Chains A and B, each alone.
Chain A
Amino acid sequence: MRVIQSIFGLLLLIQASVASAVLDIEIIGAGEKQIPVAIVPMGGDAKLSQTIHEVVVGDLMRSGLFRMVDLAGKFLTEPSQVSYADWQVRGADALAIGTVAMQPSGRIEARFRLFDVVKQAELVGQSVTAAEGQARAVGHRIADMIYEKLTGDKGVFGSRIAYVNRRGQNFRLIVADSDGYNEQVVLAQNEPIMSPSWSPDGSHLAYVSFETGHAAVFVQSLYTNQRKVLADFRGSNSAPAWSPDGKQMAIVLTRDGSSQIYLVRPDGSNLRRITFSGAIDTEPHFSPDGQYLLFTSDRGGSAQIYRMPVEGGPEQRLTFGEGSNYSPRHNPDGNGFIFAHRNNGKFYIAMQDFQTGQMELLTEGGWEKKPSFAPNGKLILFASEAKGRGILATVSSDGRVKQHMFTQSGDAREPVWGPNP
């Protein structure tokens, strides 16, 4: 176990925050049923209020599950000002109001209330605080509360995503808010970076870096930035995946021949091989109960999705039919999986149920790869392409709502949705 630090570390690690990194978000489609909500901008600090309002409305719109009710110039901040009849006439099911202020310490404090207009009842009344400069985080938390109260599912707007930004020969590993804003550069270098993978508690990223001249697996703390080499054997070391309890990882090594799957503890100990196919076995992903691995293998002649017990045992092929399949990930509910499907020169994001074995395409096809679920299983983040660039995209798990996120420059690749904070 080698720890890279000091000067080398300083050169490689650039912790930077770039505001307004996302230029453009396109939303396509709408949910089957959209909940009409009235989001009144908060009273108090105008600048904070505006940021929070943008974030809340943006989050809710991107989910495809909400429709914004025209406020018609109405402005209110207190429960005593709420006229349910007024909002019923405007067609709102729910109403959000509040105030925001900068405290002398610099902390942001927002007081937020959500009302059920139909039932004429307060659903949430809560104070949200955050450090200076974290107005967007306040917005995400409020959006999460609205989403949770009105849909019954846990919100994911406060979670983060990781992806690789490629500009020519320059590669940057980025962590950002779920809407692509608030970019943090975890690693920047002139060698490729691949396959970022979140630890279950969101504290670490494992990834593949070519900085030693070939693919090696690193694990990096997002708090201290300290990084360790997890696997640097001859050949290629790649495809890190964490078990749900964070106690072990699956990685892919070629040190004994073709790409095969191994288990290892996050500290690098107890390395053991678990596939013995002689074919390419890669992209392992743990089931939510930690008992199974999905993986990609070409043992049958083309790349397909397989499943095996983590502790070894029979390996079962799950995808058949035309084309090939890659990058499987379990649904958070454990009932099925998503993957990239290639057929007739296109890549699609697809979903399959374990029980029925039926594949369902969630996208129209194009250059769509590397899907990963939001923690609540309602949205899928993936790599796509538009206007000649690699971009981030999401699709709702029912395939109805899609969005494209264009980062500032270069190609966005290898996205992966992180756990809830």
Chain B
Amino acid sequence: MKKLVISLVLVNLLAACASNKPAETTAAPTDSSAKASASKTGAASATQVAGDPLNDPASILAKRSVYYPFDVDAVQDADKPVVQAHGKYLASNPNRKVRLEGNCDERGSNEYNLGLGQRRADGVKKMLELGGAKSAQLDSVSYGEEKPVASGHEEASWSQNRRTDIKYAK
């Protein structure tokens, strides 16, 4: 029964990915066509070859963090395109590796938050795999509440600390 549920979820997620794909591929050309409409397709493919989109500050790949509501480990709709874009990038760049670092705000026990951060990182990892990244490219760890980027004791800080960072190996 459990297996069935999991596979149904997987099918749904795959379907979600698949249905998003056309949207992304159409979105990308419109972006580049705005820049390179004059020089047509030749210029567009040239920029793709020349520059790693990972280094393009305007690319969605420049976003390397995913944020969460309190005590939630599922990637939120707003951040799904970011994770999917990284999944696609990793699928087409099999030599690149990432480390997923899950973090939490300070509410909860340190140990509970370690578990929650791991679920956050593992959730991003799964979504990257569904997007075509290979397991060998991915490592997921949790820092729980131990490495906050913001040290305040209010929501403004907490919201920054509830986070999974996608860190590419150099």
The interface of chain A, by Cβ under 8 A from chain B, is 192, 194-195, 208, 210, 213-215, 234-236, 238-239, 252, 254, 257-259, 280, 282-283, 296, 298, 302-303, 324, 326-327, 340, 342, 367, 369-370, 413-414
Task: List 6 tightest A-B contacts by C-beta distance, closest first.
Answer: A259-B115, A326-B109, A192-B146, A280-B115, A214-B141, A254-B118
Bound CA–CA A370/B110 (angstroms): 9
Residues of B139-162 contacting chain A, CB below 8 A: 139-144, 146-147, 153
Q: Across the interface, do B114 and A414 meet the contact criterion of CB distance under 8 Å? A: no
Interface SS of B by simple majority: mixed
A210 CB contacts on chain B under 8 angstroms: 143, 146
A192 near B147 with CB under 8 A, answer yes
B interface residue numbers (CB < 8 A to A): 71, 107-112, 114-119, 122, 139-144, 146-147, 153
Considering the chains assembled together, what is the distance between the CA atoms of A194 and B109 in angstroms? 11
B122, A414: Cβ atoms under 8 Å?
no
Q: How far is the CA of A210 from the CA of B102 in the complex (A)?
A: 14
Q: Report B138 CB to chain A, min CB distance, Å.
A: 11
| CB nearest neighbor in B for A327 | B109
Please list 28 pairs of residues, one from A and one from B, whose beta carbons are closer than 8 Å in the complex, sorted by A's number.
A194-B110, A194-B114, A195-B110, A215-B142, A235-B142, A236-B114, A236-B117, A236-B141, A238-B111, A239-B111, A252-B111, A252-B115, A254-B118, A254-B122, A257-B122, A259-B114, A280-B116, A282-B109, A282-B111, A296-B112, A303-B108, A326-B108, A326-B111, A340-B109, A342-B107, A370-B110, A413-B110, A414-B110
- A234's nearest neighbour on chain B, judged by CB, is B139
Name the distance in Å between A339's Cβ and chain B's nearest Cβ. 9
Q: Are B142's CB and A283's CB within 8 A? A: no
Q: Which residues of A contact B142 (CB under 8 A)?
A: 214-215, 235-236, 254
Give the distance in Å from the alpha carbon of A340 to the alpha carbon of B112 in the complex: 12
Determine the residue in chain B with the shortest Cβ distance to A283: B111
Query: Residues of A contacting B117 with CB < 8 Å?
Result: 236
Other contacts beyond A254-B122, A259-B119: 10, CB < 8 A: A192-B147, A215-B141, A235-B118, A239-B111, A254-B142, A259-B114, A327-B109, A342-B107, A369-B109, A370-B109
Question: Knowing A210-B146, A302-B71 touch, does A194 contact B111 (C-beta < 8 A)?
Answer: yes
Q: Which of A194, A259, A303, A324 contacts B118 (CB 8 A)?
A: A259
Task: Return chain A residues, CB-CB under 8 Å to B112.
Answer: 280, 282-283, 296, 298, 303, 326
Cα separation A27 to B110 with both chains bound (whole Å): 27
Give the CA-CA distance A369 to B107 in the complex, in Å: 10
Q: Which of chain A's residues has its CB closest to B119's CB?
A: A258
With both beta carbons as reference points, the residue of chain B lying nearest to A369 in the complex is identified as: B109
Q: Name B154's closest neighbour in chain A (CB-CB).
A: A345
Chain B neighbourhood of A298, CB < 8 A: 71, 112
Task: Give the chain A neighbours of B116 by CB distance below 8 A.
Answer: 280
**With the chains together, A303 CA to B112 CA distance in Å?**
8
